[in-house]
Structure 1
Amino acid sequence: MERETARFKALGSDGVTYTIIELQTFKQLSAFSGHRTAKGRLRYTTVEGRAVKQLDDGSFQIAETGLILNRV
């Protein structure tokens, strides 16, 4: 299952402000002590649906265009 866990604004190197959505996968795990939910991987998209990757310096990049985004 995947859920939206955050939404924030980011300023692109083109001067445009984008809305970034953080999505996280969750898994239901069963054990003798009961059920629990484990967090999986994070992924990011723009509200328009473009894939976004987080860079090592904390900035973001739209995958298809290479445009750099910084959280505002």
Structure 2
Amino acid sequence: MDAYRKPDIQTHLADNPQKITTFVEEVLRLESPTQGMDRHTIEDVELNEITIPKGSHIHMRYAAANRDETNSNAQLTLI
């Protein structure tokens, strides 16, 4: 992601400083430095008809949720 290097985006943000916070939030949503989280189940869990046994190690990729095409708020482009 190098949208922040594009002169037109820099100019737009310089002319509209109220949009900087939203820009930063969107960059972090699309290109988060942390893409997931590790967890261990403390009990059996059923998810989509699959049982994840107690004590299992799981890695949740919540970055994928930020790119969910079924969510109209999760656009894949910054601008």
TM-score, normalising length: structure 2: 0.27
TM-score, normalising length: structure 1: 0.29
Higher helix share: 2
